[in-house]
Homo-oligomer: A and B are copies of this chain.
């Protein structure tokens, strides 16, 4: 258990540098000279610290089991401060998830590297996904959505609209391109783009639950999967 020493700021240094606040854990700061920054800036910093801490806690414990006292402690702020930035626990959670999804959404908007073959594009996309989602905290966010989605319809809706439907639409377009170019022979794949990404999602879940028991080489698995779709790759 990461017990942050209560370090109640009573540093007996009435004059000393402005309170560094117990945040020691993740931020060696040293404030003072470097950048006291103006108020607005510091407020933004604090908000960021809260967001960071809250995500960690929500991922580790789920929505209900997360205590805002712990979030505050981890962020190095008082509990009351949280309420200067968020209305309540629930809207905080929703806002957090939304914010965390933005990078994924942006990635979907970015034009794919339309260079080589369709297979290369999909493979590049998958490698990206596995590197930046499956093996990072973003993967846990996906798991968090699966876990809490049914109790937060607003989040499930948002996720469907902004990530799932767009992602699948893009994938469908790619599949159709592959069919048109003759790279993909199974025309009906375009009806279920989910199949294309299924192993990626499996990898995310596997990492969270079973990585300890049996590591999974997600990249290699995806490659085999693509072999099924595009045919064995020539290894000239």
Contact = CB atoms under 8 A, between A and B. Distances in A.
B210 A224 contact: no
A5 interface: no
Interface string A197-236: 0110110011011100110100011001101110010000
Contacts of A224: 186, 188-189, 191-192, 195
B194 A216 contact: yes
Given A210-B160, A224-B186, A151 B62 contact: yes
A9 to B, nearest CB: 19
B151 A61 contact: yes
A214 B168 CA distance: 12
Contacts of A198: 195, 198-199, 201-202
A150 interface: yes
Number of copies: 2
A186 B151 contact: no
A192 B221 contact: yes
A64 interface: yes
A120 interface: no
Contact of A209 (B60, B143, B150): B150
A173 interface: no
A157 interface: yes
A96 B15 CA distance: 51
Contact of A201 (B143, B159, B202, B208): B202
Instruction: Give the interface size bracket for A toward B.
Output: 35 or more
Most chain B beta-carbon contacts within 10 A, residue among A220, A227, A232 = A227
Contacts of A170: none
A205 B150 CA distance: 11
Contact of A143 (B146, B214, B221): B146
Interface string A43-55: 0000000000000
A169 to B, nearest CB: 11
Most chain B beta-carbon contacts within 10 A, residue among A60, A156, A225 = A225
Given A160-B210, A228-B228, 8 more contacts: A62-B62, A62-B147, A62-B148, A63-B65, A146-B146, A146-B147, A146-B208, A201-B205
